[in-house]
Amino acid sequence: MSLFKNKKVLGLTSALVLASMLVGCGGTTPSTSTEDIENNTPEEQVLETDVVVIGAGGAGLASALEVRNAGKEAIILEKMPVVGGNTLRATGGLNAAETSVQSELGIEDSKDKFYEDTMKGGHDKNIPELVKTLTQNAADAVEWLIDLGGDFTNVGRLGGASNDRAHRPEGGDPVGPEVVSTLRTVLEDKGMEVMTNTTATEVLSEDGVVTGVVAEDEEGNELTILADAVIISTGGFGANSEMQVEYNSELEGFGTTNHPGATGDGIKMALELGAGLTQIKEIQTHPTTLPNDGYMITEAVRGNGALLINRDGERFIDEIETRDVVSEAILSQENGTAFLFFNQEIADSLGAIDGYIKRGLTVEGETIEELAETLEIPADKITETVEKYNGFVAAGEDTDFNRADMPRSIEGGKYYAIQVTPSVHHTMGGLTINTDAQVLTEDGEVIEGLFAAGEVVGGVHGGNRLGGNALADIVVFGRIAGQNAAK
């Protein structure tokens, strides 16, 4: 079955541009007759399909696949030159409770506890029915990805979680690339293409019903795509500093962990149709990013046992507290920075750390003394901190900061440190949706034919997103959006 339900690609330049966008993306180039090219003008470029998906990150890829699984066609638009979006940068894990992987590893967990942790982590600002949808369906999302060929056999714990439920590839390798690779491979096998370097500029509607999308390619050629439904999966606005400051002035001057395409386009287009916004001021910082460029160091480093120390060589916070709490604690330290401190055993426990070491992001020492000299921190202070923490591990109780999960002591081997500071990471606020992923107006009315999933949506994470919940969010609600858009 062709990608296009009914296609017209008109104008010689336009036909060649469209062909170039599709070549190499896993599908075939749509045919355009010489007669069509000669007899029509570029102003008449029109395609028609069942569903248009705007944004080819994890949520967009998941939704497009479910559209195809329902027997319908989808055109996927991506303004960046590659697919994946922020999902490619996700490293920690995909949270889910009561999965087959947890069962095989002997991990006892419950969807109810997952719900409680998510609401507590979001300071109870989350919309309960959205959180229930997330937590009840996350296990199915993991099983779905595994059935598609993904590797999610390693399970760890991230900040704010009361249990090990962050699913990731064997060895603790980054989870986001695995999600993207798994979905992209299946989409390509089904002959579905992504039109990269193609920016949606407007969602069309008539009498309150969505009818398609206007898009523009990298050469400025305009394309109209008529469709029965549109899914907005463009991500948040974590790379749009002006938009961040508009909604939260305290974030002026912050760096970002986001890819450059996360500029809030989907929110802006939906607002033109009267869409409502939910908790738009709720913007999260990630506590452990590089001071100069916002490069994110996954929360899983702390989850696997790393400590946070200041320039006095002392701990100052429960390392696996929620991101907002840890961010605030780091900003209160000298220079607004701290050091992630860990040894070789912790490094060996998480594949992502090997990548940091190879990139030269770590300071290393064969002994604590050698590392302390490089960091210009008194060695006896770090040694005292480590010995005290190891005592907590042995006793099973952290009497300083009440860290609940201390997976291992820090004894022997090479020692490492990474200087970190908070950067803008996730925009929890966004478009208002219901549990069917339908976009709602300010008055709570459904905008017929318009769906949204992923970071572009508000209300799922409340005032603070737990690490591992973004990946669960994009797959769960991406699937829901795709299934319902196909109807």
What amino acid positions are annotated as catalytic residues?
A: 323
Measured CA to CA in angstroms, residue 314 lies from 311, 327, 333, 395, 405 at distances of: 7, 16, 11, 20, 19
The CB-side HSE value for 352 (13 A sphere, CA atoms) comes to 25
Q: Which residues contact 318 (CB under 8 A, 6 or more apart)?
A: 398, 401, 402, 403, 404
Cα–Cα distance measured from residue 208 to residue 211, given in angstroms and rounded to the nearest whole number: 9
Question: Could you give the CA distance from residue 126 to residue 458 in angstroms, rounded to a whole number?
Answer: 9
- Cβ proximity of 300 and 354 under 8 Å: no
State how far the alpha carbon of 61 is from the alpha carbons of 30, 76, 223, 268, in Å: 21, 8, 21, 21
Residue 237's φ and ψ, nearest 5 degrees, are: -125, 35
Residue type at 239 in one-letter notation: A
Q: DSSP assignment of 347-361, as one string?
A: HHT-HHHHHHHHTT-
Question: How many separate helices (H) and strands (E) can be counted in the chain?
Answer: 16, 21
Strand-pair category, 166-168 with 154-156: antiparallel
Q: Which of 198, 196, 244, 256 is nearest to 423 (CA)?
A: 256
DSSP 148: T
> How many CB atoms are closer than 10 A to CB 100?
12
User: Cβ(364)–Cβ(305) under 8 Å?
Assistant: no
How deeply is 206 buried, as exposed, middle or buried, from its count of CB atoms within 10 A (0-12, 13-18, 19+)? exposed
DSSP H or E stretch at residue 382? helix 379-395
Q: Where are the beta strands (DSSP E) in 23-86?
A: 46-48, 51-54, 74-77
